[in-house]
C-alpha cells in the first residue's frame, strides 16, 4: 500500500492538467487535481474558446454587407454586447461542467484552491496537507502588464471577456497574436480600433510574407495600425483615457488593451522551497519527459514557457501519463506544429518560415500566390488571399506552408498532416484539387519565385 495520499497530484486543471489527470487515472493511478479558478484553464475560460466565439460574432457585419452582391436584402441590424457576453458565459459554464464530469467520471478528486509546494512529495491546499508520489505543475500563464505611468488604467486579455460595455474607441498595445485577434474582433463589432506595436512589423516569428500581407489587409477592416509606436503614459479624463504616444502624439480612447505577452504562472507556488529550477523568463525547466530538477515533480504547458498552444499541452499531458503510469517513457515532437491566428483575415501556418528555412537549408524554392477570393467577385469586397509553400531544394520536401485568408486554419490543419508525413512538392503537384476552392491553390502552384539574388540581378 502506498505511503502517499495520491499517486499523482496535479496543480492546475487546464487542458494539460486535465488530460494528464484523466489518462493517469485510466491507467490505474490514484489522482487528484487542484484548481483555484475555473475548470478548463485559460483556453476554456479566458482564452481560445471565448475568443473564437467573439471572432464569429465580429464576422457578421461584413456578412450582412456582402449579402447584397448575392441578391439578399438585409434589413436593420444592431449589435448588443451584453447579449454576446451572456451567451458566451452560458457556453463556458456548460464547458466547465463537462470538464468536471470528465474528471469525476475518471475517478479524479477535484480539490478547490491554490496548491503550494511544500516539498518534493507534498502540497498544501486551503490548509490541507496532501502527499503524492508525483506532483505535476500545470498552472499555465498570465498576461504581462507594462510599466509605464497609468498602465493600471488599462486592461489585459483576461479582462476582455468580462467587460460590461463595449468600448467605442479602443487602443490595443502589442504585436502578438492576441493583440492582432482582439483588434480585429472589436473593429468587426464596430469599435474604432487603433493598434500600436513597437517594432517595424507585428507577429514576429511568423513568415514575413504573412506578416506583410496581414498588415496590408487589416486597415481595410478599419484597424488603424501604427508601427514603431508605444504608449509613454496614460491619464484618465472626463471623456475616457488619454494616452501620449511616442513622438508626442496623443490619443483619447475609452479603453486600452495591453496584449504585450504572457508569462509563466509560477508566483507563490513554492518552487524555490521545493528546489524546482526556473529559467531566466520564469519558466519551469523540464527535460524531454517533463521532469523538473526535482525527480518527483513534473511540469507541462505554458508554465514551462515553450510552445504555448492548447493542443501541445494536451499532447504533453498524455506523454506525462504514459511516462509515469503507462510504462512508456514518452516525449513530444515539437516539429511542424500547425497553428493559426484568428486575425481578420485569418492566418494558418505549419512548418518553417522562409527566413528560417534559408538559414537551415540554404537553397529553398518558394511558391507564392495572391488572389481575390471567389466570394468577393460578387460581394465587391477588397480582400486578398495569400498562400505560400517553402520547399527544401535538394530533397524537394515541403518544409513550410502558410496562408492568409478565409478558412486558413481549417485548410492548414490538413496540410499539417502532409508536412508531418514528409510530403514533397511532387506529391503536392500530383494531388488533384477540389474545384472551386481556395485550398486547391496549394496543389496547383507551379511557378517558383526567383531567389533574392536572382530578383535583385533582374532589377
DSSP state of 75: -
The torsion angle over the Cα atoms of residues 210, 211, 217 and 221, rounded to 10 degrees, is 120
Same fold, 151-260 and 339-458: no
452: pLDDT confidence band, cut at 50, 70 and 90? Answer: confident
Judged against a pLDDT cut of 60, whether residue 194 lies above it is answered with yes
**CATH superfamily ID and name for 339-458:** FAD/NAD-linked reductase, C-terminal dimerisation domain (3.30.390.30)
Work out the average pLDDT over 173-195: 98
pLDDT tens digits, residue range 382-393? 999 999 999 999
Cα 117 from chain centre: 29
Question: What is the spatial distance between Cα 33 and Cα 245, in angstroms, rounded to a whole number?
Answer: 45
Q: How many CA atoms lie within 13 A of 318 on its CB side?
A: 7
Judged against a pLDDT cut of 60, whether residue 224 lies above it is answered with yes
- Extents of the domains making up the chain: 6-141+263-325, 151-260, 339-458
DSSP string, 197-217: ESSSSSSTTS-HHHHHHHHHH
DSSP state of 285: P
What is the average pLDDT value for the chain, to the nearest integer? 96
- Main-chain phi, psi angles of 257, to 5 degrees: -110, 115
- The 10 Å CB-count burial string (b at 16+, else e) for 304-313 is bbbbbbbebb
Question: What is the spatial distance between Cα 209 and Cα 78, in angstroms, rounded to a whole number?
Answer: 36
Could you name the CATH architecture of 6-141+263-325?
3-Layer(bba) Sandwich (3.50)
Cis, bond preceding 196 (omega within 30 deg of 0): no
CATH for 151-260, options being 3.30.70.140, 3.40.50.720, 3.50.50.60, 3.10.50.40 = 3.50.50.60
pLDDT tens digits, residue range 138-162? 999 999 999 999 999 999 999 999 9
Q: Which residues are catalytic?
A: 435
User: What's the burial of 129, exposed, middle or buried (CB within 10 Å: 0-12/13-18/19+)?
Assistant: exposed
Amino acid at each position: 500500500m502506498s505511503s502517499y495520499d495520491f499517486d499523482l497530484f496535479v496543480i492546475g486543471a487546464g487542458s494539460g492538467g486535465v488530460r494528464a489527470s484523466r489518462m493517469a487515472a485510466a491507467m490505474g493511478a490514484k489522482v487528484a487535481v487542484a484548481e483555484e479558478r475555473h475548470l478548463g484553464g485559460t483556453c476554456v475560460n479566458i482564452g481560445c474558446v471565448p475568443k473564437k466565439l467573439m471572432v464569429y460574432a465580429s464576422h457578421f457585419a461584413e456578412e450582412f454587407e456582402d449579402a447584397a452582391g448575392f441578391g439578399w436584402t438585409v434589413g436593420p441590424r444592431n449589435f448588443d454586447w451584453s447579449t454576446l457576453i451572456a451567451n458566451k458565459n452560458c457556453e463556458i459554464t456548460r464547458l466547465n461542467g463537462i470538464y468536471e464530469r470528465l474528471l469525476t467520471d475518471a475517478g479524479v478528486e477535484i480539490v478547490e484552491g491554490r496548491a503550494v509546494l511544500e516539498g518534493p512529495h507534498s502540497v498544501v491546499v486551503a490548509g490541507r496537507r496532501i502527499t503524492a508520489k508525483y506532483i505535476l505543475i500545470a498552472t499555465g500563464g498570465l498576461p504581462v502588464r507594462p510599466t509605464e505611468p497609468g498602465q493600471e488604467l488599462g486592461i489585459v486579455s483576461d479582462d476582455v471577456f468580462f467587460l460590461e460595455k463595449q468600448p467605442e474607441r479602443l487602443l490595443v498595445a502589442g504585436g502578438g497574436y492576441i493583440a492582432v485577434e482582439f483588434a480585429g474582433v472589436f473593429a468587426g463589432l464596430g469599435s474604432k480600433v487603433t493598434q500600436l506595436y513597437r517594432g517595424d512589423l507585428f507577429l514576429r516569428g511568423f513568415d514575413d510574407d504573412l506578416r506583410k500581407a496581414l498588415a496590408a489587409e487589416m486597415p481595410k477592416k478599419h484597424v488603424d495600425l501604427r508601427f514603431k509606436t508605444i504608449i509613454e503614459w496614460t491619464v484618465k479624463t472626463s471623456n475616457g483615457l488619454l494616452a501620449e504616444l511616442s513622438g508626442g502624439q496623443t490619443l483619447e480612447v475609452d479603453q486600452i488593451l495591453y496584449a504585450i505577452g504572457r508569462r509563466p504562472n509560477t508566483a507563490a507556488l513554492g518552487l524555490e522551497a521545493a528546489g524546482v529550477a526556473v529559467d531566466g523568463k520564469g519558466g519551469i525547466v523540464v527535460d524531454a519527459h517533463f521532469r523538473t530538477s526535482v525527480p518527483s515533480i513534473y511540469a507541462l504547458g505554458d508554465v514551462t514557457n515553450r510552445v504555448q498552444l492548447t493542443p501541445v499541452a494536451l499532447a504533453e499531458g498524455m506523454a506525462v501519463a504514459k511516462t509515469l503510469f503507462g510504462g512508456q517513457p514518452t516525449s513530444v515532437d515539437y516539429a511542424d506544429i500547425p497553428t493559426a491566428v484568428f486575425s481578420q483575415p485569418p492566418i494558418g501556418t505549419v512548418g518553417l518560415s522562409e527566413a528560417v528555412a534559408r538559414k537551415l537549408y540554404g537553397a529553398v524554392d518558394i511558391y507564392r500566390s495572391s488572389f481575390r477570393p471567389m466570394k468577393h467577385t460578387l460581394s465587391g469586397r477588397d480582400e486578398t488571399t495569400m498562400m505560400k509553400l517553402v520547399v527544401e531544394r535538394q530533397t524537394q520536401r515541403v518544409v513550410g506552408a502558410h496562408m492568409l485568408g478565409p478558412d486558413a486554419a481549417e485548410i492548414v490543419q490538413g496540410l499539417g498532416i502532409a508536412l508531418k508525413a514528409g510530403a514533397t512538392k511532387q506529391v503536392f503537384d500530383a494531388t488533384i484539387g477540389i474545384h472551386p476552392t481556395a485550398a486547391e491553390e496549394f496543389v496547383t502552384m507551379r511557378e517558383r519565385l526567383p531567389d533574392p539574388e536572382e530578383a535583385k540581378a533582374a532589377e
